[in-house]
Amino acid sequence: MGSITLQKVSKVFGEAKVIPSIDLDIKDGEFVVFVGPSGCGKSTLLRLIAGLEDVSGGKIVIDGKDATEKAPSERGLAMVFQSYALYPHMSVRNNIAFPLKMAGMDKAEIDRKVNDAARVLNLGDYLDRKPRQLSGGQRQRVAIGRAIVRQPSAFLFDEPLSNLDAALRVNMRIEISELHQQLKTTMIYVTHDQVEAMTMADKIVVLNRGNIEQVGSPLELYRSPRNLFVAGFIGSPRMNFINGQNAAQLNAHTIGIRPEHVLLSTESGDWKGKVTVAEHLGSDTFLHADVDGIGMVTARSNGDFASRAGDTVYLTPDKTRIHKFNESGLAI
């Protein structure tokens, strides 16, 4: 079991109201990702759930029981941080076994659990090594192993992959998703990485200044952002926002169109612009163009689209993919 409910949870540090009031329901077995700009309160919210910080107000319910006043060790949750915090002098086996030894579990049981965790995480060959003899990805797996053996009702991850290089991140991202499918344990995962959020989450929670802007599946947020903030935050490169006459024609204060929904042509189209920067990624080309009467617009094309700074291009937004927002920034 691992359902978590936050009811009017708030947190104040001195004068600063970091989390004004949050209500959130996390179902048993869900993979929930918290995203938002730096300083918006993601880690604080995770630490409140873990019990590493006391709430200033509200209630935290875990598996139907009020856990607001419970110590971290009594909440049945396991937290994995960006820095793995392994004991350097202990073998991998002893690092993973540590929480079980502390809990006074008998040796045969500990061995069984450590071996199970090592199998799930492909750490079997490394059990006798010290952390310094492991790669970053292997170390992070050991830290996850130490969390797994406790059989928590939920895992809390705070940017666990941000110290890894790009290739390892991709591997670990897939491994954590597989781990979730295997264990079916609730996971709450904080990340800055768009791709991690979109690919791993059942449900994304977009935070801004300690408030929830929107909760939904990755594609719900991508297709139907509720406001300008979510529209600009989900999706990379970010959505183009256009004000003025073009928006007024569609009875909106602002219209938004994602770069992948703007058709590029060297010959003809709705808007004429001059390329200021062309980014050729191989698989895709991103063009930043200064469009007459509109301003800067980013458009995505396939990797074969040959264009350079200074070229004239024509852009045509896909009318069916235009987002409209009112004066208050709410989607209409």
Ligand X SMILES: Nc1ncnc2c1ncn2[C@@H]1O[C@H](COP(=O)(O)OP(=O)(O)OP(=O)(O)O)[C@@H](O)[C@H]1O
Contacts 24+ apart (CB under 8 A), 306-310: 307/264, 307/266, 307/275, 307/278, 308/275, 308/278, 309/275, 309/276, 309/277, 309/278, 310/274, 310/275
Q: Tell me: does residue 13 bind ligand X (CB under 6 A).
A: yes
Q: Tell me: does residue 35 bind ligand X (CB under 6 A).
A: no
- Tokens 């104040």 locate to 12
Q: Tell me: does residue 18 bind ligand X (CB under 6 A).
A: yes
Choose between 117 and 164: whose C-beta lies nearer to ligand X. Answer: 164
239-253 residues labelled b (16+ CB within 10 A) or e (exposed)? bbbbeeebbeeeebb
Choose between 35 and 97: whose C-beta lies nearer to Mg ion. Answer: 35
CA-to-CA distance for 201 and 44, rounded, in angstroms?
20
Q: Stretches 37-45, 116-124, 181-189, 309-317: which one binds Mg ion (CB under 5 A)?
A: 37-45
Q: Which does 13 bind (CB under 5 to 8 A by kind): ligand X, Mg ion, none?
A: ligand X
Q: What would the two tokens of residue 245 be? A: 């006459």
Closest distance of CB 24 from ligand X, Å: 15
Q: Which does 181 bind (CB under 5 to 8 A by kind): Mg ion, ligand X, none?
A: none
Q: Which does 166 bind (CB under 5 to 8 A by kind): Mg ion, ligand X, none?
A: none
Q: Tell me: does residue 218 bind ligand X (CB under 6 A).
A: no
At 103, the amino acid letter reads: A
Q: What would the two tokens of residue 98 be? A: 């540590």
Per CB under 6 A, contacts with ligand X among 44-73 are: 44
Choose between 16 and 167: whose C-beta lies nearer to ligand X. Answer: 16
* 129, burial (CB in 10 Å: exposed 0-12, middle 13-18, buried 19+): middle
Q: Which does 44 bind (CB under 5 to 8 A by kind): Mg ion, ligand X, none?
A: ligand X
Task: Respond yes or no on whether the N-terminal peptide bond of residue 237 is cis (omega within 30° of 0).
Answer: yes
Q: Which does 41 bind (CB under 5 to 8 A by kind): Mg ion, ligand X, none?
A: ligand X
Q: What would the two tokens of residue 136 be? A: 């970053």
Q: Which does 121 bind (CB under 5 to 8 A by kind): ligand X, Mg ion, none?
A: none
Closest distance of CB 230 from Mg ion, Å: 19
Q: Which does 113 bind (CB under 5 to 8 A by kind): ligand X, Mg ion, none?
A: none
Total Cβ atoms within 10 A of residue 279:
12
Q: Which does 162 bind (CB under 5 to 8 A by kind): Mg ion, ligand X, none?
A: none
Choose between 29 and 58: whose C-beta lies nearer to ligand X. Answer: 58
Whether 58 and 6 have beta carbons less than 8 Å apart is answered as yes
Among 2, 41, 235, 256, binds ligand X (CB under 6 A): 41
List, in sequence order, every residue forming a beta bridge with 156; answer none if it has no partner. Answer: 79, 188
Closest distance of CB 212 from Mg ion, Å: 16
Please, where are the H alpha helices in 103-217? Answer: 107-120, 136-148, 166-183, 194-200
Choose between 11 and 258: whose C-beta lies nearer to Mg ion. Answer: 11
CA-to-CA distance for 215 and 18, rounded, in angstroms?
19
At 162, the amino acid letter reads: S
Choose between 196 and 297: whose C-beta lies nearer to Mg ion. Answer: 196
Q: Stretches 42-50, 59-67, 78-86, 255-263: which one binds Mg ion (CB under 5 A)?
A: 42-50
Closest distance of CB 158 from ligand X, Å: 7
Half-sphere exposure of 230 (CA within 13 A, CB side): 26
Residues that bind Mg ion (CB under 5 A): 43
Residues that bind ligand X (CB under 6 A): 13, 16, 18, 36, 38-44
